[in-house]
Amino acid sequence: MINQFVFVLFNGLASGMAFFLVAAGLTWVFGILKILNLAHGAFFMLGAYIAYTIGGASPSSLWTFIGVALLAAIAIGIMGLVTDKFVLGRLRNVDYHYVLIATFGLMLFCEGVAKAIWGSDYYSVMPPPEVDTAVKIGSSYISLYTILVIVIGLAAFAVLELIMNRMWAGKIMRAVANDPWMAGTIGINVPMVLMLSVVASFALAGFAGGILVPNQTLSVHVGSSFILYAFLAVVIGGLGSIRGTFVACILLGLVESANATFLPEYGGIAVYVLLAVFLIARPQGLFPPQGAL
C-alpha cells in the first residue's frame, strides 16, 4: 500500500511539474495581457520538434539535453516576438473573443506547419543517459528522469516567484498588469513590457517542449494533451496567478495519478470532477490575483 502511495506521489508530482512547465507561460501572459493564448500548446509542440531536430533522438549528455531545450526556448521566443508584432500586438484593445479565435487560428497554422515540415510520423526521444535509469525508493522504482522533471519544475517556479515578487522586473510587470495607463504615465514603456512578457511566455513554452519530449512520443498532437491540463490549472489556480497555477498543477497531477492507479478503468475523469468542484465552490480560483480583472 505504501509503495503504491509513493508511486502515486512521485508520478503525480512529475506530471504536475510537467503541466506547470507548460502552464507557467500561459498563466504569465494571462496575468499581464489578459489573453488566453490557445496557441500556447502548439508552440510547445514546435519547441519539442525543434529540440528533436537539433538534439536528435538520443541526447549525448544531460547538459546537451538542457542546452538543446534552451535553444528551443530561444527559437520559440523569437517566434513569440514575431507573433506579438504581427498578431497579438494588434489585438490589444479588442473583445477577448477575437483574441481567443485569432490564437486558435495561430494554433491551426502551427499544426499545419509542423505537419508540412515533419510529416505525420511519430518520433520518440530518449532521456539523457545520466537520468535514463531508475532509483529505488522504498520498494518502488522511480525513473530518474521523473525526478529531473520535478526538479526543473520546482526550479522554474522558484525563478518565476523570485522575478515576480522580489525583483524590479516583476514589480514593473505587476504595475503594468494592474493599471497599464497609470504605469504609462509614470514612465514605464508599457508596449515593451507587454512584448517582453509574450516573448518570455513563448520561450517558456519552447523550453517545456525541449524538456518534456522524452516523456511521450512526439507527434502533431503532443501539445493538446498538456494544454488542456494547463487550461484547467490556470482556471483552478485563479486566472493569472503563478502561485495558484503551481498549486493547481500539483493538485491536478496528484488527482490524475491517483485516478490512474486506483481506478484505471476510468482514467482521466477525476480531473474534471475536480474542475467542476472548483468552478461551483470557488469560481475565482485558489489565489485570485489582487487588482487584476
Partner 1 sequence: MTDASWTRSGQTASFTDQYLLSAFGAVLVVLLFFAPELVNPGLLFIIGMTLIQSVFALSWNLLFGYTGLASFGHAGFYAIGAYFTGASLRYGFPLPFVVTLLVAGILGALVAYGIGIVALKRLTGIFLAVLTVALTEALGKIIGFTPALGEQDGLGNIPRPIINLGVTCLDLTHSNAYYRFLLIACLLIIGGLWWVIHSRLGRTFRAIREDADRARFIGIDVARYRVISFMISGGTAALAGALSAPWTRIVTLDQVNWLASTQPMLNSLLGGFTSFWGPVVGSVVFTSINYWTRNYPGLSEMLVGGVLVVIILVAPTGVLGILGKLRARLLKGGRA
Of residues 36 and 183, the one with the C-beta less far from partner 1: 36
d(CA 181, CA 188): 10
Of residues 106 and 152, the one with the C-beta less far from partner 1: 106
Are 286 and 248 contacting, i.e. CB atoms less than 8 angstroms apart?
Answer: yes
- Shortest approach of partner 1 to residue 105 CB, angstroms? 3
Supply the DSSP symbol for 128.
Answer: P
- Shortest approach of partner 1 to residue 272 CB, angstroms? 4
Of residues 2 and 280, the one with the C-beta less far from partner 1: 280
- Shortest approach of partner 1 to residue 23 CB, angstroms? 13
- Shortest approach of partner 1 to residue 175 CB, angstroms? 23
Show the cell assigned to 96.
477577448
Show the cell assigned to 101.
479565435
Of residues 71 and 227, the one with the C-beta less far from partner 1: 227
Strands 140-143 and 134-137: antiparallel
Instruction: Tell me the CA distances in angstroms from 178 to 182, 252, 271, one per residue in order.
Output: 9, 28, 31
- Shortest approach of partner 1 to residue 57 CB, angstroms? 22
Of residues 150 and 286, the one with the C-beta less far from partner 1: 286
d(CA 115, CA 6): 39
d(CA 221, CA 205): 15
**162 burial level (CB within 10 Å; 0-12, 13-18, 19+):** exposed
- Shortest approach of partner 1 to residue 260 CB, angstroms? 13
Of residues 100 and 154, the one with the C-beta less far from partner 1: 100
Interacting residues of 71 by C-beta distance below 8 A, sequence separation 6+: 50, 51, 54, 210
| Cα–Cα nearest to 255, from 4, 9, 6, 7 | 9
What does the binding site for partner 1 look like in residue numbers (CB under 8 A)? 36, 87, 90-91, 96-98, 100-102, 104-117, 119-120, 224, 228, 231-232, 234-235, 239, 265-266, 268-269, 272, 275, 279-280, 283
Of residues 1 and 121, the one with the C-beta less far from partner 1: 121
- Shortest approach of partner 1 to residue 183 CB, angstroms? 23
Cell 539523457, residue located: 128
